[in-house]
Amino acid sequence: MRTDRTFTMLKPDSVEKGYIGAILEKITGAGFKIVAMKLTQMTQSDAETFYAVHNERPFFGELVEYMTRGPIVAAVLEKENAVQDFRTLIGATNPADAAEGTIRKMYAASMGENAVHGSDSDENAEIESQFHFAGREIF
């Protein structure tokens, strides 16, 4: 299992607020190389599948509605120790708890609308990348 790739989404709130450029600048400035990227919109079924691990949680309906309400930027990122370093760069799930200078601290509004996704393991990075991209779209 490779350890130098992770998967991210700039969530609908980031796109709506015009933060795509600023967030990508933070990501590349932190040493991540973009090896796949697109603007896309998740369907209800896409979001239910992508977040299936959370389907028993009370916020699941809200999460699916949020993630499908507009376009997202999906991307695969490459860097040594990618998963862990990217989670550090984005900060805690709740922006109120996120460290100063992290993407969620800078750009997220709330626990629900928290600007950006980052895979939580090498295995999920691979699964999530393949969910959004064909092999020939990852460079």
Asked if 97 interacts with ligand IDP (CB under 6 A), we say no
Asked if 93 interacts with ligand IDP (CB under 6 A), we say yes
Catalytic residues: 117
Give the x-and-dash track for 68-107 against Mg ion (CB under 5 A). ----------------------------------------
Give the x-and-dash track for 64-83 against ligand IDP (CB under 6 A). --------------------
Task: Supply φ then ψ for residue 120, to 5 degrees.
Answer: -105, 0
- For 70, what's the count of Cα atoms within 13 Å in the CB-facing half-sphere? 11
Query: Could you tell me which stretch among 1-9, 33-41, 58-66, 76-84 binds ligand IDP (CB under 6 A)?
Result: 58-66
As a whole number of angstroms, the distance between CA 83 and CA 112 comes to 21
Under 8 Å between Cβ of 95 and 111: yes
Look-up of token digits 């990348």 = 129
